[in-house]
Amino acid sequence: MKSFNSADLQNMEQRFRSTLINSISGFKSLQMVGTINQRAITNIALFNSIFHVGSHPPFIGMVVRPEGDQHETLKNILELGVYTLNNVNEDNYIAAHQTSARYLTGESEFTECGFTEEYVDDFKAPFVKESNIKLGLELVETIPFPKNGTTIIIGEVKHIILDEQFICADGYVDLAEAKSVTVAGLDAYHQTQLLGRLAYAKRGKQPEFLNVNEKEK
């Protein structure tokens, strides 16, 4: 077994340490974040630090890394107060990865990476047409984390767009059927495969499997 202490981590080569810490925590939610600014220039950014905050109201959080001059996501969210989360699937993960390139201000990843802008009702932020699970969010709160310059964004879900066949009778969204992919670290993309859903755990009772094939008609 290999062991690292704090001093080892501190003295590691930067890229190695970044890859190690990014991947060792496990598989993460992977989303393309769609935004637009007041000049109607759209943007896609690939995020893997996304987490559930609450269901009622429906809040989702994400961590935004320190942004340079060419990083528009946080600026756009603060400017218009809305953004979208769009799943990455087996058909588009390579193009999604390309959105993480450092495009210049004014260049849209929709155009540069071959994605299509899609709009719903009067919601200003663009969805990614090629994704098959999409969320539209409204900014609720930003929480700075001065220790490393990141910002935690909390958004409230205002729109959910997905194929009805992905929704089970109890509300569970079948990400495997949607062919959503997950990521380990910054560049290792993985398919999802369901092992099983288990009923609510109760003391003194053995776990039971749920029927995962029952979808809404």
Query: Which CATH number fits the domain that encloses residue 147?
Result: 2.30.110.10
In a domain, 109, yes or no: yes
In a domain, 144, yes or no: yes
Count of domains in the chain? 1
Closest Cα to residue 88, out of 168, 173, 179?
179
Domain that holds residue 158: 6-191
At 107-158, the pLDDT tens digits run 999 999 999 999 998 999 999 999 999 999 999 999 999 999 999 999 999 9
In a domain, 202, yes or no: no
pTM: 0.90
In a domain, 217, yes or no: no
Closest Cα to residue 31, out of 41, 44, 18, 19?
44
In a domain, 150, yes or no: yes
pLDDT at 216: 43
In a domain, 201, yes or no: no
In a domain, 200, yes or no: no
pLDDT at 74: 93
pLDDT at 217: 39
Taking the C-alpha atoms of residue 60 and residue 138, their distance in angstroms, rounded to an integer, is 10
pLDDT at 2: 87
pLDDT at 186: 85
In a domain, 214, yes or no: no
pLDDT at 18: 87
pLDDT at 68: 59
Weakly modelled stretches of the chain, pLDDT under 70: 67-70, 212-217
